[in-house]
């Protein structure tokens, strides 16, 4: 009988939702949904010192923002709860006490200082730092004596000697680890709280996880978890370790890498679209058949196949992200584009917070002007800066064009035409430019280039008549007259 597909995303609330973790969640979500399985979110919060306030809420909020839903978690319950590790301590206790009883784990009384001194001595001898097994064979009397000294024990798992642990990874194929390269590891800290590798193995078994899909950085944890499974006679899940995400220099994506926006919260703040971010992340280390790159969430669920997870590092391509978000922006309803962009104009002090109906209409037209080229909401501030400047600084290229002999005639004729306009709108401005062409005989670049540069300071941009309308009659004429004297 085919085992029911059950997968999990298990974040620690030690920070906000990172792009790498979002990808792990997304691949688990797509795998579950594509297979008619169950997607579980479990909170691994046993490292209380590193947990941050709001970390848990942020994780769930931004998974929802990206468009994911789940079947079991802290917010919706389920048959396998509790879904917070800190609420499962009694469950773990039963299992580690069983290991102690059977001699598969033992109490270790070494202090941090002693362990550090041991590591330093090993490094000095050119050895790989490892736990020596100093407390492996303590007698009951030894343990009592150490406890009378006030020492609190941690609990270590007794790693079997001379064994090879092999598993078939969905992404990497067959992977093997020799147990002799792994020293006895701590499964319960001195404060009685289980460590990651123990708690996660117990949870994955009790919650009946069929598959564990996670990042490449977890692969060295897998043999330790397989040892726990073996100790209890449990069948392990199927593992899949996704390759690293790398930056454009092909280096592992680091949270200190300032060139890449790395937290999902920041994408929302900058006015990116969740559908576009979902699409982009889904292609970070997974590829569909064919050349198409734009898919809806439903289409991804339809086509997702874990066998197509990449074996090569996933390149975080910022240009591709900008292109992809732009594809979504172009198709978006203008009201939504305004909603994404307007707060950034207000924040930059370019547009008042409380606006008249006339000001709202102007802003709406301004944003509409740049919708085709905008990659994200906050970009409107940079794109539209020419509308908020009092003075223009012309670069050398602009000065060269403005120095052409026909320019004074073209600009003078334009001022004359614009002055006569009673309705200052794009269509009327367009007709005025046509009349300038007829009156001066200049057309094409000789006509449009100097006008565009004179009024905006740049040689390319959106529709010229619309730019002139939004700049306003007074500002346009003022800029031109300043040039022609």
Whether 389 is a known active-site residue: answer no
Alpha carbons 97 and 431: distance in angstroms, whole number: 87
CB atoms within 10 A of CB 362: 17
Q: What is the dihedral of CA 125, 129, 135, 136, to 10 degrees?
A: -100
- For residue 263, the SS3 value is strand
Residue 107's nearest CA partner among 83, 63, 142, 132 is 142
CA angle in degrees (0–180, nearest 5) for 201-202-204: 65
Q: Residue 161: CB partners within 8 Å, gap ≥ 6?
A: 179, 180
Q: How far out from the chain centre does Cα 452 lie? A: 39
Which one-letter DSSP state was computed for residue 175? E
The DSSP secondary structure of 1-35, one letter per residue, reads -PPPPEEEE---TTSS-BHHHHHHHHHHHHHHHHT
Alpha carbons 345 and 384: distance in angstroms, whole number: 9
**Pairing, β 6-9 against β 38-41:** parallel
Task: Confirm if 410 and 447 have CB atoms less than 8 A apart.
Answer: yes
Alpha carbons 270 and 379: distance in angstroms, whole number: 8
Distances (CA, A) of 431 to 56, 368, 447, 471: 59, 21, 14, 17
Alpha carbons 329 and 323: distance in angstroms, whole number: 10
Please write down the long-range contacts of 282-288, taking CB distance under 8 Å and 24 or more positions apart.
282/26, 282/27, 282/30, 284/19, 284/23, 284/245, 284/314, 284/316, 285/23, 285/27, 285/242, 285/243, 285/245, 285/309, 285/310, 285/313, 285/314, 286/27, 286/310
Alpha carbons 362 and 469: distance in angstroms, whole number: 10
Q: Which of 93, 251, 255, 443 is catalytic?
A: 255
Structure tokens that stand for 80 in this block: 């396998």
Residue written as tokens 């619309």? 466
Task: Give the CA count within 13 Å in the CB-facing half-sphere of 214.
Answer: 19
Q: What is the dihedral of CA 300, 301, 302, 304, to 10 degrees?
A: 70
Distances (CA, A) of 170 to 41, 216, 227, 309, 314: 21, 12, 20, 8, 16
- Which positions are annotated as active-site residues? 255
């Amino acid at each position: 009988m085919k085992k029911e597909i059950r997968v999990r995303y298990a974040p620690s609330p030690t920070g906000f939702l990172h792009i790498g973790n979002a990808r792990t969640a997304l691949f688990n979500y797509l795998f579950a949904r594509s297979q008619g399985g169950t997607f579980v979110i479990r909170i691994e919060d046993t490292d209380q010192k590193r947990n941050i306030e709001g970390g848990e809420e942020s994780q769930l909020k931004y998974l929802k923002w990206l468009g994911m839903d789940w079947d079991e978690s802290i917010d919706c319950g389920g048959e396998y709860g509790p879904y917070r590790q800190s609420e499962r301590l009694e469950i773990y206790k039963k299992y580690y006490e069983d290991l102690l009883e059977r001699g598969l784990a033992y109490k270790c009384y070494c202090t941090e200082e002693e362990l550090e001194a041991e590591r330093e001595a090993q490094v000095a001898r050119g050895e790989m730092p490892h736990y020596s097994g100093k407390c492996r064979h303590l007698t009951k009397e030894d343990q009592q004596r150490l406890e009378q000294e006030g020492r609190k024990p941690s609990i270590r798992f007794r790693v079997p000697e001379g064994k090879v642990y092999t598993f078939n990874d969905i992404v990497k194929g067959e992977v093997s680890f020799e147990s002799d390269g792994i020293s006895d590891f701590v499964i319960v800290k001195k404060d009685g709280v289980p460590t990651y590798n123990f708690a996660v193995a117990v949870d994955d078994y009790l919650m009946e996880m069929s598959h564990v899909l996670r990042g490449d950085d977890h692969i060295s944890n897998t043999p330790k978890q397989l040892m726990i499974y073996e100790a209890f006679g449990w069948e392990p899940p199927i593992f899949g370790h996704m390759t690293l995400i790398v930056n454009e220099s092909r280096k592992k994506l680091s949270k200190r890498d300032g060139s890449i926006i790395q937290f999902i919260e920041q994408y929302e703040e900058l006015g990116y679209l969740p559908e576009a971010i979902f699409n982009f992340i889904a292609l970070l280390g997974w590829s569909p058949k064919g050349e198409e790159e734009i898919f809806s969430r439903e289409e991804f669920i339809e086509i997702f196949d874990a066998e197509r997870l990449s074996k090569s590092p996933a390149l975080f391509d910022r240009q591709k992200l900008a292109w992809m978000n732009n594809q979504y922006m172009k198709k978006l309803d203008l009201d939504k584009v305004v909603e994404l962009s307007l707060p950034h104009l207000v924040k930059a002090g370019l547009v008042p917070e409380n606006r008249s109906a006339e000001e709202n209409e102007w802003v709406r037209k301004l944003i509409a002007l740049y919708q085709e080229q905008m990659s994200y909401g906050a970009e409107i501030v940079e794109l539209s800066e020419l509308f908020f400047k009092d003075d223009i600084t012309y670069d050398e290229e602009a000065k060269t064009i403005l120095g052409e002999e026909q320019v004074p005639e073209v600009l003078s004729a334009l001022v004359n035409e614009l002055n006569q306009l009673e309705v200052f709108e794009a269509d009327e401005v367009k007709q005025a430019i046509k009349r300038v062409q007829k009156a001066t005989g200049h057309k094409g670049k000789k006509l449009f280039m100097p006008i565009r540069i004179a009024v905006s300071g740049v040689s390319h941009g959106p529709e010229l008549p619309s730019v002139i309308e939004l700049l306003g009659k007074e500002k346009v004429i003022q800029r031109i007259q300043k040039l022609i004297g």
